[in-house]
């Protein structure tokens, strides 16, 4: 049984990071590799902090884990050192715990009861426990292909090989369907491959999981744009159901700030994709920050990815701008609102390495040189508020402006939904006003037999939501093809 006083005996201890200077010298993951024995001992102690709450807010609900991860259960198994059963219980709800363990901002930790009070010492290190279970699972050979013993004789096409598409494909293959995943890029993984930097998750982590899917029988086709290289007619003829997991990669642009047309101003993905390709050995990045004064506009995950990437490329300086004020830390926020934990997590490891952040500021002008290349930005202090109709407004709060150097500006201000693609036209699917693909309660789009999941349905979101939607759409497709399904369905369409 869990020790209800464990959190009083053991302070929260996060995983050890490598020294910042060492991290900047390579592209390897930020977190240090520690002796497995030491790691396992520390994580077992951390798992002891879990109180096995009567109502575990971490586990599900509006604030907790969308996958319904059995967090108190595997915390207890880890505490007892039963890694094999912990692995089994973790994989029961999550196809790819190594992805979430490394990439998810952990809404479960925000929802943990121990995040309420300063005296409790902070949430249970759920993410660290999850990642360690995943690591031990691979180290001990506990992750094996699951061979389906049934064959439905039905064929399913999954379009897109990001986390949502891969989760849907794995579930459907295991349910006995013949699944082919189509990827328009030359390599599999979607955002996991070309969006997420190597220092957050090394690509070999993705590749070993893809190998498992292959051995289970999922087929993959790369370099194929469905709707072009494989026509909609062929798609319809060859498959009984189609899952759209095409992501929401249309980057939001800045259409109003004077000087946006200058050279040297790019959307974040225009920086991240070639940088990731360079790590894959595809040659130097087309947009390289070496020796440049880099300004990143936008304070979220993607901005932090650009920040760490620019620092590793050898930028002369890196500055990240956020229109919102600096979030309080748990220690200095006297009101102690719950949850306060995610606000702390808005500081990413990349911010400890180099560079600077400015809060409550906005660029009001990009300033170029005679060649039409950006060289400076003009900033003003602002606050964000809502007008009478509830629309977001950015209001200047100072007469003073600040002019700073900027040779490379990266816009990390969000995504506007699904990219335009012939496939959607061919299927007769129209996007919502949010730029996403809508569906009914059975995840089916306007096109019969065509389903949607992940960012394409939800809008740009967390990897954990992508996996949860991929698992849920698999249940819906299985039901569509066979009349019933035993596959889990952790979430419903929004």
Interface contacts to ligand SF4, rule CB under 6 A: 50-53, 56-58, 71-72, 75, 112-114, 124, 126
Q: Output the smallest distance, CB 13 to ligand SF4, in A.
A: 15
Phi, psi for 19 (deg, rounded to 5): -55, 145
Nearer residue to ligand SF4 within complex by CB, 6 or 251? 6
The angle subtended at Cα 169 by Cα 168 and Cα 175, nearest 5°, is 90
Q: Output the smallest distance, CB 175 to ligand SF4, in A.
A: 30
Q: Output the smallest distance, CB 58 to ligand SF4, in A.
A: 3
Contacts of 347 (CB under 8 A, 6+ apart): none
- Alpha helical stretches, state H, 26-162: 36-47, 71-79, 83-91, 97-103, 107-111, 126-139
Nearer residue to ligand SF4 within complex by CB, 7 or 99? 7
Burial 133-150 (b: 16+ CB within 10 A, else e): bbbbbeeeebbeeeeeee
Nearer residue to ligand SF4 within complex by CB, 61 or 300? 61
Nearer residue to ligand SF4 within complex by CB, 52 or 442? 52
**Distance in angstroms (rounded) separating the CA atoms of residues 180 and 129:** 33
Nearer residue to ligand SF4 within complex by CB, 1 or 21? 1
Q: Output the smallest distance, CB 263 to ligand SF4, in A.
A: 49
Q: From edge to edge, which strands make up the β-sheet containing 392-405?
A: 361-368, 374-386, 392-405
Pairing of strands 178-182, 293-297: unpaired
Q: Output the smallest distance, CB 120 to ligand SF4, in A.
A: 9
Q: Output the smallest distance, CB 62 to ligand SF4, in A.
A: 14
- Alpha helical stretches, state H, 198-240: 203-216, 232-238
Residue 319 near residue 356, CB atoms below 8 Å = yes
Structure tokens that stand for 143 in this block: 């992750």
Nearer residue to ligand SF4 within complex by CB, 11 or 19? 11
């Amino acid at each position: 049984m869990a020790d209800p006083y464990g959190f009083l005996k053991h302070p929260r201890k996060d995983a050890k990071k490598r020294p910042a200077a060492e991290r900047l010298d390579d592209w390897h993951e930020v977190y240090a590799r520690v002796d497995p024995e030491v790691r396992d001992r520390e994580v077992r102690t951390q798992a002891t902090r879990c109180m096995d709450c009567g109502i575990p807010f971490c586990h599900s609900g509006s604030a907790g884990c969308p996958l319904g991860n059995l967090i108190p259960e595997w915390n207890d198994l880890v505490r007892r050192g039963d890694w094999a059963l912990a692995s089994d219980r973790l994989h029961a709800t999550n196809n790819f715990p190594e992805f979430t363990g490394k990439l998810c901002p952990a809404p479960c930790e925000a929802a943990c009861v121990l995040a309420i009070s300063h005296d409790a010492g902070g949430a249970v290190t759920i993410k660290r426990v999850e990642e360690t279970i995943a690591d031990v699972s691979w180290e001990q050979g506990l992750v094996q292909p699951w061979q389906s013993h049934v064959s439905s004789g039905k064929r399913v096409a999954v379009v897109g090989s990001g986390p949502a598409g891969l989760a849907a494909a794995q579930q459907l293959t295991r349910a006995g369907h013949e699944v082919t995943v189509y990827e328009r890029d030359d390599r599999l993984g979607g955002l996991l491959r070309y969006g997420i930097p190597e220092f957050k998750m090394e690509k070999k982590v993705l590749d070993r999981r893809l190998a498992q899917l292959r051995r289970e029988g999922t087929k993959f086709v790369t370099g194929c744009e469905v709707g072009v290289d494989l026509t909609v007619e062929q798609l319809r003829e060859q498959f009984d159901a189609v899952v759209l997991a095409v992501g929401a990669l249309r980057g939001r642009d800045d259409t109003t700030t004077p000087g946006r047309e200058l050279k040297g101003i790019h959307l974040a993905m225009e920086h991240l994709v070639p940088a990731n390709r360079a790590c894959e050995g595809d040659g130097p990045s087309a947009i390289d920050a070496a020796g440049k004064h880099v300004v990143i506009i936008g304070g979220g995950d993607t901005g932090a990815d650009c920040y760490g990437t620019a620092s590793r490329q050898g930028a002369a300086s890196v500055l990240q701008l956020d229109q919102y004020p600096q979030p309080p830390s748990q220690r200095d926020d006297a009101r102690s609102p719950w949850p306060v934990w995610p606000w702390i997590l808005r500081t990413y490891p990349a911010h400890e390495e180099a560079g600077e952040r400015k809060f409550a500021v906005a660029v009001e002008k990009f300033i170029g040189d005679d060649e039409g290349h950006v060289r400076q930005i003009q900033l003003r202090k602002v606050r964000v508020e809502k007008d009478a109709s509830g629309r977001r407004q950015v209001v200047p709060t100072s007469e003073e402006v600040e002019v700073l150097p900027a040779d490379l500006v990266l816009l990390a201000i969000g995504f506007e939904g699904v990219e335009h693609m012939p496939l959607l036209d061919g299927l007769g699917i129209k996007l919502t006003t949010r730029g996403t693909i809508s569906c009914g309660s059975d995840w089916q789009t306007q096109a019969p037999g065509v389903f949607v999941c992940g960012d394409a349905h939800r809008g740009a979101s967390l990897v954990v939501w992508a996996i949860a939607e991929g698992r849920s759409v698999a249940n819906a497709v299985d039901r569509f093809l066979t009349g019933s399904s035993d596959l889990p369905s952790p979430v419903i369409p929004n």
